[in-house]
Amino acid sequence: MTNTEESWVKHYLPDALLPRIEAELLTRPAYHSPIATISDIRQNGLLEAWSVTAFSCIRNFADYLDSPIYFVISHAPIPSAMICKFDDFQCIVITACLSENMTRLAANLLAEGNIFEFLLKSVEPSEPTGIAQKARKEAVYNCARQNMAISTEIWNVAHLLTNYSSYFIIAHEISHILLGHFDSHNAMSMVEFEVHDVPPTLLSRSNEWQADSFAAIATLFRLNALLEMEAEPNADWLQDPNARVRLIAVLGYLIFTSMDFLDNNDGDYSLRTHPSPMSRAGLMMATLSISAHHLLGVDTSCTHKICQSAFKAVEVALLNIAGGALSEDEVLKYGNEAQTSLDHFFIYLQFDKANRDYSRLSNISWKYLIPGVA
Ligand SMILES: [Zn+2]
């Protein structure tokens, strides 16, 4: 056993606590699937990589939590994540297919060329060569299941994207506890795809936006730290601060894309627990631009421009290789939803910040995320 394996095993949910998580999962029909055992994970390189990343993220934030934190990998056939909070411990549940979908989706889209050239060489994405033949969600679903031939160079970048996406997703889950979101409603668990068993409120959507924002900055911190320690191989191109913003923008957009096909975006905005995935990408851009300015010295308008190019590179790749695109109506709808949400969230924060305890977050630079919350 290597040291790294030994470490992640320490944060894997102990057998004695499994029945308590299983009881909670029974309330979520989509999660009625077996939990991966430690030996299952050891036999699957992708799941082991997920576990090592989960460990590194948990280790970075564990000191800020009042009780132990664990993770488990579920075989539920939905790309999703959730967090369960109990009086004496907390546990992140992630699904194996989230990691598998993300890696395959990233590799296939990178092989198309536009995202790869944009990420590594800052080449602006080209205009699409085809026309849309199917809905975007269907294209995303197909793209995550195609077995295209992938070069080693592309796999390396796909794994890099998956690795930091995993960190982003775990940080998002931990932040629901760190940011006090469980104190604001009675649920014991929060899931990351649309469900209607939590009262859908502005508060819940605002919490998701805060968690996405936290995750983006946490991932940027992680990336900076590894580069500083020269612990990120195969990534000379990330020495450029703008390249780091490109990486976060692309991986954020891919995360929301990989969760998008499950989500009913046609539902009424006011009845949703989460902003719709594609508008979450736009919302993330707002806070990423603030944090990239503080952490990397990248100008706010430059980050906006990078995010727009990143989103376009993914859309062009999706259209070129899988024949699916957002319709003009969808683009308008998600753009409007992001703008409306942002307006609501900032108003909400003005009321909220007086009532929440952000003190333990001062050391992890929550202050960089939201203007006025220090
Ligand atoms: Zn969440």
Tokens 């890099």 belong to 160
- Centre of ligand 1 to C-alpha 325, Å, is 26
- Centre of ligand 1 to C-alpha 369, Å, is 17
- Centre of ligand 1 to C-alpha 219, Å, is 16
> What is the pairing mode between strands 324-325 and 134-135?
parallel
- Centre of ligand 1 to C-alpha 201, Å, is 14
Q: Which of 60-64, 99-103, 105-109, 320-324 has the highest mean pLDDT?
A: 105-109
Q: What is the SS3 assignment for 93?
A: strand
- Centre of ligand 1 to C-alpha 279, Å, is 14
Distance CA(104)–CA(267), nearest Å, equals 28
Distance CA(307)–CA(213), nearest Å, equals 14
What is the pLDDT, as a whole number, of residue 373? 39
Distance CA(290)–CA(285), nearest Å, equals 9
- Centre of ligand 1 to C-alpha 259, Å, is 12
**Structure tokens that stand for 190 in this block:** 């929060």
**Structure tokens that stand for 50 in this block:** 């997920």
> What is the pairing mode between strands 69-74 and 90-95?
parallel
Give 207's pLDDT tier (boundaries 50, 70, 90): confident
Asked if 184 contacts 142 with a C-beta cutoff of 8 angstroms, the reply is no
Range with the poorest average pLDDT among 128-137, 148-157, 170-179, 347-356: 347-356
Alpha carbon of 82 to those of 1, 112, 312: distances in Å? 29, 32, 29
160: exposed, middle or buried (C-beta count within 10 Å: 0-12, 13-18, 19+)? Answer: buried
Range with the poorest average pLDDT among 19-33, 180-194, 289-303: 180-194
Q: What is the SS3 assignment for 308?
A: helix
- Centre of ligand 1 to C-alpha 234, Å, is 31
- Centre of ligand 1 to C-alpha 168, Å, is 11
- Centre of ligand 1 to C-alpha 172, Å, is 6
Distance CA(184)–CA(348), nearest Å, equals 13
- Centre of ligand 1 to C-alpha 90, Å, is 15
Tokens 């989103």 belong to 311
- Centre of ligand 1 to C-alpha 323, Å, is 30
Distance CA(289)–CA(313), nearest Å, equals 19
Give 1's pLDDT tier (boundaries 50, 70, 90): very low
- Centre of ligand 1 to C-alpha 224, Å, is 24
Distance CA(373)–CA(369), nearest Å, equals 8
- Centre of ligand 1 to C-alpha 274, Å, is 8
What is the pLDDT, as a whole number, of residue 79? 86
- Centre of ligand 1 to C-alpha 213, Å, is 11
Q: Which residue has the higher pLDDT, 5 or 125?
A: 125
